[in-house]
Amino acid sequence: MDKPSLKIGLTGGIASGKTTVSNLFAQLGVPIIDADVISRSLTEPETTAFKLIVQTFGVKILQADGRLNRAKLAKIIFSDTEQRHRLEKILHPSIQQLMLAKAAKIKTAYCILSIPLLIETNQIKLVDHILVIDCPIDLQRQRIIDRNGISSNQIEQILMSQTTREARLAIADDVILNDISLEQLKSKVLALHKDYSKT
């Protein structure tokens, strides 16, 4: 039987550079399983999760076209921990199941499971190895502002809802400190790729 693909859990705080790093691994041909992408597909209209979310939060979280108003939902859950936990309880078991099912079909030496809330949602055991994208908090703030201009209040709420840099670094097997240029980031990814491909 084929050896199972090594599951590298990629995590990091908001706007630390997870997507940027995932894209660099993808350019090297590495399969990427992204919890955020799965979460979006699970919450398309008519899915079980979608119906549960509407039942739980009410029709006020829908757009005029009947789809989820994700910005509105984000506002609710990041200002109220209890509401955030309710949403996580609906979504996380299915996300986890789907990620594992996808990983089980992969034949390459390793694959990347991008799980932003790996620690917060207690999914460390899901992966074989942890790669943390680390970033100074002020640079995280700046990248969020440059990207989508959400309010500074909401930025702080999101940062506070996530675990600390220290907690992430404590469980990391590898760390990329992403306060570097894209070129430098690319060579760090290439070095890790060579290392992970040997396994």
Give the shortest CB-74-to-ligand ATP separation in angstroms: 11
What is the per-residue binding string for ligand ATP in 127-166, x denoting contact by CB under 6 A? ----------------x---x-------------------
What is the per-residue binding string for ligand ATP in 80-119, x denoting contact by CB under 6 A? ------------------------------------x---
- What phi, psi does 89 have (nearest 5°)? -65, -35
CA distance 97 to 187: 33
Neighbours of 131 (CB within 10 A): 24
CA distance 151 to 60: 21
What is the per-residue binding string for ligand ATP in 33-52, x denoting contact by CB under 6 A? --------------------
Rounded (10°) angle between helices 152-161 and 70-79: 60
User: What stretch of H or E contains 9?
Assistant: strand 6-12
Give the shortest CB-13-to-ligand ATP separation in angstroms: 7
User: Segment near ligand ATP (CB under 6 A), from 10-18, 56-64, 81-89, 96-104?
Assistant: 10-18
Instruction: Say whether residue 182 binds ligand ATP (CB under 6 A).
Output: yes
Q: Give the pairing of strands 6-12 and 110-114.
A: parallel
